[in-house]
Amino acid sequence: MPDSSHRRRLLVLAICCMSLLIVSLDNTVLNVALPSMQRDLRATTSGLQWTIDAYTLVLASLLMLAGSTADRIGRKRVFMAGLVVFSVGSLLCSLAPSLSLLIVFRMVQAIGGSMLNPVAMSIITNTFPDARERARAIGVWGAVVGISMAAGPLVGGLLVQSVSWRSIFWINLPVGLAALLLTLRFVPESRAPKARRPDPVGQILVIALFGSLTYAIIEAPEAGPAAVAPFAAIALAALLALLWYEPRRAEPLIDLRFFRSAPFSGATVIAISAFAALGGFLFLSTLYLQNVRGLDALHAGLWMLPMAAPTFLCAPLSGRLVGSRGSRLPLLVAGTAMTASGVLFAAFGAQTSDATRLVGYVLFGIGFGFVNAPITNTAVSGMPRTQAGVAAAVASTSRQLGQTLGVAVIGAVLASGIDSSAYRGTFTAAARPGWWILTVCGLAVLVLGLLTTGRWARRTADRTAETLHSPEVRQAVGAGRAG
């Protein structure tokens, strides 16, 4: 929409950010409510993991399908459908009578959520065609994550403390309804000029890969390696099948040529690493503050502010830096801060002292605030605008997959080391390997941020862009596949 007024573009950005707010808020609010849900629904550690991972897993599995479908049938139409399904899922979650039904309703939420974030990012990409304006818009988008992290624990803690954990799902209903009405009135319809055909085989393989891998990780501590080995084998087979099948399709679910670009591949792995760290960080912190320190939900939420406030403040700064100086500096700041935070907790037991815990939370918030904008900007920059939905969906999928794996792996490590009969006494030692894993995630952000933002990386991005934009190359590739 190059001819749209500046005010209308900002309004479209605000509407898209509303969808991100309810999706992001849902995760941060839920983390504060985990101990209350554990007591009310008599959930185990793996049960708590599934309340988070059932959502992020379905989200990760369907994001690329939602992105390509929106490019094909209309972004506004898919976006509005997502708002409706997400709101209905939220209402069902608030009424869930058991843990198993709560997990099912979280999956309904995720189906709606999969139609929101990547489609909203695609709408933003088409609304802000100028690279500098788009980087600033993405910075605002990242700041909304900070708002959700700041408001989520406080709002969630207040609702859990004064009403019950069920009330945390009610806040999605008015925001979802407002976003729906505003979208209907102000967001223009857009779609890719050439419709992409569905890829049901690729979609099934993605679901099999993500689902079986997550199940194997979460259930391994209780069921044992032998019981989850078949699921690990399914995950490996699905991955190999994807790598074989997708390049042979003229219009695949995900064009693997994207990954020839070092910045794009780096952004994907950075997103997985950063959000794995976030998922694990929130999971460990919430359980420690409430189950070990004995804080109520509201005071545990207040302890999240030292992490959430820097995220909120640093995200727009990161967006401006990406627009003016590129992705390298924000990624280096993010990797350094997240690594330092992990080392504080893993090596120095930062959680056992209020002062060191405060420093660790602030460092993690700074790191996470800087990492979001370069991930998203790299994912969509240089890609054909006709595939903006797919490219944005890859970035969103990487985020959700990272958070899924973070909760699954960190939760499995915690469950394998903790003694339920002496929970408080064994928690800190059982959590230490998890903090080391988060340190490795921070190092991955730092190293990949350095390696994938230099001249060599930019050359690979240019070559990939030429391949994706060139009709002759596409025709040659299609003829080769047909032959």
Percent with pLDDT over 70 in the chain: 89
Question: How many angstroms from the chain centroid is the CA of residue 372?
Answer: 10
Tokens of 88: 């209905």
Over pLDDT 90: what percentage of the chain? 18
pLDDT for the residue numbered 474? 41
User: At 385, is the pLDDT very low, low, confident or very high (cuts 50, 70, 90)?
Assistant: low
pLDDT at 469: 60
Quick one: angle between helices 423-451 and 354-380, nearest 10?
A: 40
Confidence check: pLDDT of 91 > 50: yes
CA distance linking residue 453 with residue 245, whole number of Å = 30
pLDDT of residue 340: 95
Least confident of 64-68, 166-170, 466-470: 466-470
Summary mean pLDDT of the chain: 81
Give me the phi and psi of 110, to 5 degrees please.
-65, -35
Instruction: Give the other-Cβ count within 10 Å of 112's Cβ.
Output: 27
Block residue for tokens 């199940």: 215
324-328, 333-337, 346-350, 466-470 — which one is most confidently predicted on average? Answer: 333-337
Higher pLDDT, 217 or 423: 217
pLDDT recorded at residue 149:
66
Q: Would you place residue 483 in the very low, low, confident or very high pLDDT band (cuts 50, 70, 90)?
A: very low
- Provide the pLDDT for residue 443: 95
**Residue 337 — pLDDT band, cuts 50, 70, 90?**
very high
Residues 265-293: pLDDT tens digits? 888 899 999 999 988 998 888 888 888 88
pLDDT higher for 3 or 33?
A: 33
Higher pLDDT, 273 or 128: 273
Of the listed ranges 145-149, 158-162, 166-170, the one predicted with least confidence: 145-149
Per-residue pLDDT tens over the stretch 312-321: 788 778 878 8
Query: Rounded to whole angstroms, how far apart are CA atoms 295 and 303?
Result: 10
Read off the pLDDT band of 107 (50, 70, 90). very high
- Please name the residues in contact with 104: beta carbons below 8 A apart, sequence gap of 6 or more: 54
pLDDT value of position 338: 95
CA distance 208 to 231: 9
* C-beta of residue 18 within 8 angstroms of C-beta of residue 117: no
Residue 59 or 180, more confident: 180
Query: By C-alpha distance, which of 291, 397, 229, 283 is closest to 50?
Result: 283
pLDDT at 382: 56
Burial class (CB in 10 A: 0-12, 13-18, 19+), 176: buried
Highest mean pLDDT among 84-93, 218-227, 386-395, 456-465: 84-93
Dig out the tokens for 36 from the structure. Answer: 């209350």
pLDDT tens digits for range 291-314: 888 888 788 888 888 888 888 788
Distance (Å, rounded) from C-alpha 272 to C-alpha 269? 5
pLDDT of 146? 64
Q: Return the pLDDT at 3.
A: 46
Query: Any residues with CB less than 8 A from the CB of 222 and at least 6 apart, and which?
Result: 44, 46, 415
> Average pLDDT for residues 380-397, to the nearest whole number?
63
Token readout for 270 is 């950075």
pLDDT of residue 442: 94
Cα–Cα distance for residue pair 296/28, rounded to 1 Å: 16
pTM (global) more than 0.75: yes
Helix, strand, coil percent content, the chain, rounded in steps of 5: 85, 0, 15
Decide: residue 421, CB within 10 A, 0-12 exposed, 13-18 middle, 19+ buried: exposed
- Residue 446 is predicted with a pLDDT of 94
Tokens of 117: 């974030």
Name which residue leads in pLDDT, 327 or 371.
371
